Amino acid sequence: MGWPGENGEVPATPRSLILDLFGDYLRYVEGEVRLAHLTMLLGAFDVAPATVRVTLSRLRREGWFSSRRVGRETVYQLSDHMLDVLEQGRRRIFAPPLITWDRTWTMVIYQLSESERQGREELRKVLAWHGFGPLTTSTWLAPGDRRAEIEEATGQLFAERVDVFGCTSRHDRHDRELAARCWDLEGLAKDYRAFLETYADLPVRSARLTGAEALVARTELISRFRHFPFKDPRLPADLCPPDWPGVAAHECFVAAHRALGPAARAYVGAVLGRPVPDPGA
């Protein structure tokens, strides 16, 4: 959760499914899995065994996993870096919307030339993930004091190219105008309403889902919802348009995710041959 390089709603790929499975289940059972077990789990999503092997091999080369042999079987172990990524992503996805704020903003101004396109795109992904929106091309804002958070996130690669400030605006109306300029709130509200139309009854329907069906439904739920942190800065209520659906969407997500948890964990545990603990939300 908080998966690298994913900032749009696209169909789940084998690599994103693998990270979803580790994010919700496998990292809580020593962060490792046998190839045969992961192949069985991904079979519930109609992913072919050959595709699982190729995808895991590619992710291992990218540093997401290490592997070792146990007899004739291959065991994949999640890297420490990816464990950190998944933990950060979980905190961001499950964090509730803000209700009040202190009317402060965090401003980031960066200096990267047009020839440094790859660096600019990477920095913008980091800023978006941490709730910043573009006021101008190189000036981004986020509500509240996020200076320490964004300095830590950008420091290693961009320390000398990024300046971070705390600031305030003139008045409430100006705050709302800034929010409307930095984020497509109408488009975000539309996406939240579409999410609610699809999943509003899932917390109730979940009681009828067991086994692989529960795992697939829960994974599809989080695959759909985890894109919102790239779009939604978790604006406080007084910066949101009237009838903002973001709070209801988050409540629906948390309720459905929790309701599907026991059946999904039981199925994964049956495949692994050991129980999967409930990490809470």
The residue ranking higher by pLDDT, 138 or 12, is: 138
Per-residue pLDDT tens over the stretch 190-237: 999 999 999 999 999 998 999 999 999 999 999 999 888 878 888 888
Q: How far apart are CA 230 and CA 217, in angstroms?
A: 22
pLDDT band at 5 (very low <50, low <70, confident <90, very high): very low
Give the number of C-alpha atoms closer than 13 A to the C-alpha of residue 170, restricted to the C-beta side. Answer: 4
Question: Which three-class secondary structure state does DSSP give residue 73?
Answer: strand
| Top-tier CATH class for 105-168 | alpha beta
| Three-state secondary structure of 126-193 | HHHHCCCEECCCCEEEEECCCHHHHHHHHHHHHCCCEEEEEECCCCHHHHHHHHHHHCCHHHHHHHHH
Taking residues 119-140, report their average pLDDT: 90
Per-residue pLDDT tens over the stretch 108-118: 999 887 777 88
- pLDDT averaged over the chain? 89
pLDDT band at 31 (very low <50, low <70, confident <90, very high): confident
Q: How far apart are CA 222 and CA 224, in angstroms?
A: 5
**Per-domain residue ranges of the chain:** 105-168, 184-268
Per-residue pLDDT tens over the stretch 135-154: 998 999 999 999 999 998 88
Examine the pLDDT at 186 and tell me if it is beyond 70. Answer: yes
